[in-house]
Amino acid sequence: MASLARNLIVEKRIRTTLAKAKSVQRVAERLVTLARKGTLASRRLVIARLKDKNQVVELIGKVVPGLEGRAGGFTRIMRLGRRTGDNAEMALLEWVGIDVPDKRKKKVAEEPAKS
């Protein structure tokens, strides 16, 4: 679950099975609650659970400020339907107040201006 939570922090949105999404949602909500306290002890607890200091910096620096003013419900689960092959229920887990960049859009290089 820590690995999926780390991926959620980095990617801001993950696609996984519904059962895993529900489990990771509980972990992520608790991590945000701990990170919002801002004490040294809470930071160390978050580091112990995520096992990666870089992800903790990302969580405290980018994710938590985007969730300011919310008492709870920091993540949402959207059902995507069933996966072909094993018919597993798929879901999308994402942060509620944070914009997710669309990776499918291609970046267009700007042409130099002619003078």
Res 19: pLDDT: 96
Model pTM greater than 0.95? no
Pick the CATH number of 2-95 from 1.10.3720.10, 3.30.2310.20, 3.40.250.10, 3.90.1030.10: 3.90.1030.10
Q: Which stretches of 6-66 are assigned E, i.e. beta strand?
A: 13-17
Task: Give pLDDT tens digits for 34-56.
Answer: 999 989 999 999 999 999 999 99
Task: Give pLDDT tens digits for 79-92.
Answer: 999 999 999 999 99
DSSP output for 84-106: TTT-PEEEEEEESSS----TTSP
Q: Does residue 25 or residue 98 have the better pLDDT?
A: 25
Res 113: pLDDT: 63
**Residues 12, 72, 37, 50, CA torsion sign:** negative
